[in-house]
Each structure stands twice: as C-alpha cells, then as structure tokens.
Amino acid sequence: MTAGGDAGRCPIAVFASGTGSNLQAMLRHQQHNPLWPARIVLVVSDKPGCRACDVARAAGIPVFAERVAAYPDKAAFEAAVLDELRARGVMGVALAGYMRIVGPTLLSAYPGRIVNLHPSLLPAFPGRHAVRDALAAGVRETGVTVHLVDEGIDTGPVIAQWRVPVDAGMTEESLLERIHAVEHVLYPAVVGELARRWLEEVGRGR
Ligand code: GAR
C-alpha cells in the first residue's frame, strides 16, 4: 500500500445529523494519518442544515443531505442513499450522531458493515439522551460504545467500549465534553480497524 495513497484505503460513508465533531475527528485522521485505512468519500445527513454538513463541505467531502419527509417513505429515502453509496463505491458506513434508525434497505445492502457510536456503556442508556439519562440515574461511571448496527435502537454486537467517570456536580455539558474527548480518539481507531477488515473482505469477494 502506498502511504497516503487512496488505493489502499477503504471507501466509507459517514452518516451524521448533528454537530459533526466525530466526523471532524475522522477527517483529521484522513488528513494527517497516512496509514489510516479508511477514506471518507461521502457524508450522508437527514438534516440538510446541520453543522456536520458544513464540516464535510469545508473538507471538500461530497454531501448527500435530504429530509426523509421529501420522499414517499423511509425506504425510498434509503434507496436514494443507497444509490449514492454505490455510485461512490462505499464499502462500509460509520454512523456519527445519525439520529435515525437504519432500515432494512441499508442493513441488507451492508450486512455487518454499518457501525455506530453511542455515548454510554450499552446496553445501559440507549436512545437519544444517553448522557442526560446517565446523569439522572446518578451513575458514577458511564462511557462510550462502538457497535455494529442491527434493526434495533443502539443494539447490535459491541466492538469496543471505554469507561468515563462521572464526577459529582457534572452537568450534561461537562459530561458530554468528557465523553466527546474519548469518542474522538476511540471512534477513528475502531473505524480504521474495521475499514481494514472490510477492504480485505471485499478483496476476498465476501
Ligand atoms: C455523539 O456523542 C454520539 O455518541 C451520539 O451523538 C453524538 C454526536 O456528536 N450518538 C448517539 O447518541 C446515537 N444514539 P457529533 O455530532 O459531535 O459527532
């Protein structure tokens, strides 16, 4: 493999609905780590105005950003996304703050090749408000999980977890900041490893 060359890197798409700080962390790897095995070739969003779209465009990454409501149903939205993924040769997908359940159209097209990041030690605190829910439960420890996506909400086989302590008096904002600091290191590392695996699998015709 040529260091820094695109030929040895696995083309992936990142799906995002929010601020895009994890997308940014992966883009930093793409830019500065010549051996990072992934290459982000597309960013998909269901929130056309979100900051993640701006982050992608600023980095020169193509963006597919459409509201699901603009399509007859979710399957039609995902079929349009799938056309984009295939047109760009995407081999795997990393969800990074994509606040939507992935449907059968995409799951069946990328079996075992869609990965999600979640701000808790799953199975604790699934859903949209994991950080708030952990604080409300009064836990002394939460964390970050990376898992393969299935049809459930934040379910699917866990690939990596990292503990994050919760100090007395922490707010949702300060805990989220601590969690993000972990995510920004953990997710690019795990996505890189998966990308290496996906590239090998595709090379073997699987
Ligand atoms: C991240 O903290 C991620 O763990 C969470 O959304 C945030 C996105 O931040 N994902 C979920 O809650 C999935 N259920 P970002 O837009 O700054 O990357």
Tokens encoding 133: 């829910």
Q: What is the pLDDT of residues 147-202, one digit of tens each?
A: 999 999 999 999 999 999 999 999 999 999 999 999 999 999 999 999 999 999 98
Q: How would DSSP label each residue in 89-142?
A: T--EEEESS--S---HHHHHHSTT-EEEEESSSTTSS-STTHHHHHHHHT-SEE
Q: Which atom of ligand 1 is nearest to the CA of 24?
A: 18
Nearest to 90 by CA among 69, 64, 54: 64
The protein residue whose alpha carbon is closest to atom 8 in ligand 1 is 97
Please state, in angstroms and as integers, the Cα–Cα distance from residue 68 to each residue in 16, 48, 71, 148, 163, following that order.
Answer: 14, 10, 6, 23, 35
Its CATH architecture, for the domain 10-203, is: 3-Layer(aba) Sandwich (3.40)
Task: Check residue 5 and give its pLDDT.
Answer: 63
Query: Percent of the chain scored above 90 by pLDDT?
Result: 94
Task: Check residue 204 and give its pLDDT.
Answer: 86
Bond from prior residue into 48 cis (ω within 30 degrees of 0): no
The domain spans of the chain are 10-203
Helix axis angle, 21-32 relative to 172-203, nearest 10°? 50
Query: Above 70 in pLDDT, residue 203?
Result: yes
Q: How far is the CA of 109 from the centre of ligand 1 (A)?
A: 24
Q: What is the pLDDT of residues 47-89, one digit of tens each?
A: 999 999 999 999 999 999 999 999 999 999 999 999 999 999 9
Task: Please tell me which residue in 118, 129, 147, 184 is annotated as part of the active site.
Answer: 118
Cβ < 6 A, ligand 1 pocket: 16, 18-22, 52, 96-97, 117-119, 130, 154, 183
Q: What is the pLDDT of residues 10-53, one digit of tens each?
A: 999 999 999 999 999 999 999 999 999 999 999 999 999 999 99
